[in-house]
Amino acid sequence: TSSVAARLAFFPPEPATYEVAAAEGGAGLRMTGVLPDANVDVHALPTRAGTRVVAAFWRYPTARLTLLYSHGNAADLGQMLGLFMELRSHLRVNIMCYDYSGYGASTGKPSEYNTYYDIEAVYDCLKKEYGIGQEDLILYGQSVGSGPTLHLASRLDKLRGVVLHSGILSGIRVLYPVKVTLWFDIFKRTSTK
C-alpha cells in the first residue's frame, strides 16, 4: 500500500530539469544552470535507504543563519534556481536545498520514508561539512516538503525556526476531501489540521 500511496502523492518532473557533473578541475560537483562563480556547493549525499540525494548549499558571505529548504511536489532544483538566488540575496542567509529520492538527479524512488532519510542526510551534511548548529538553522517546508520538515523538526529542540508554506494536510487529502486520516495515507504522523 505504501508504494501505491507514493505513486498517488509524488510527482517528480520527467525528465529532470538539470544534470550534475564533475566540476572543472575535478574538485566537487556542479549543477547545470548554475554559474561556477555563483558560490554554490553541490553534493550527492548517501541516505540510510541507499539512495543518493542531490543537495546544493547556496552560500551568502555574511550569513548568520541557514535555511534548509524542502520544496513542493512536481518540482526539482533546476526549476527553482532563480528562487534560491533571490531568497539568498533578499534574506541574506545561506540556503541548503535538496531533491527528494527520485526527483531531479537524485537516485531511488520517492516515498514518505525516503523523504525522511533524505532530509536527515542533508542535515548531517550541514552539521559535518559546514558546522551549522540547530540554533542557526531554519527549516522551510513547502507543500509535500512539510512532511520531512516536521519529521526533522520533531527531532531537534534548538532550531531557530520552522516555516510551513502551504503545509500538506496528508497525501490522500490532496486528492479527496476526506475528514479522517486513512491507514494507508502518507505523512499521517506529521499531518497538520
- What are the angstrom distances between the C-alpha of 142 and each of 95, 106, 165? 14, 19, 5
Higher confidence at residue 185 or residue 137?
Answer: 137
Structural domain contains residue 191: no
Q: What 3-state DSSP class applies to 87?
A: helix
Structural domain contains residue 186: no
Structural domain contains residue 169: yes
pLDDT in tens, 135-182: 999 999 998 899 999 999 999 999 999 999 987 766 556 666 777 766
pLDDT at 71 over 50: yes
Global pTM?
0.89
pLDDT in tens, 14-28: 999 999 999 887 778
Structural domain harbouring 151: 3-175
Structural domain contains residue 22: yes
Structural domain contains residue 72: yes
Q: What is the pLDDT averaged over residues 57-64?
A: 97
pLDDT at 89 over 60: yes
Number of domains in the chain: 1
How confident is the model at residue 180, as a pLDDT?
73
Structural domain contains residue 181: no
User: DSSP characters for 3-40?
Assistant: HHHHHHH----SS-S--EEEPGGGSSEEETTS-TTS-E
Structural domain contains residue 95: yes
* CATH code (residue 64): 3.40.50.1820
pLDDT in tens, 104-143: 999 999 998 999 999 999 999 999 999 999 999 999 999 8
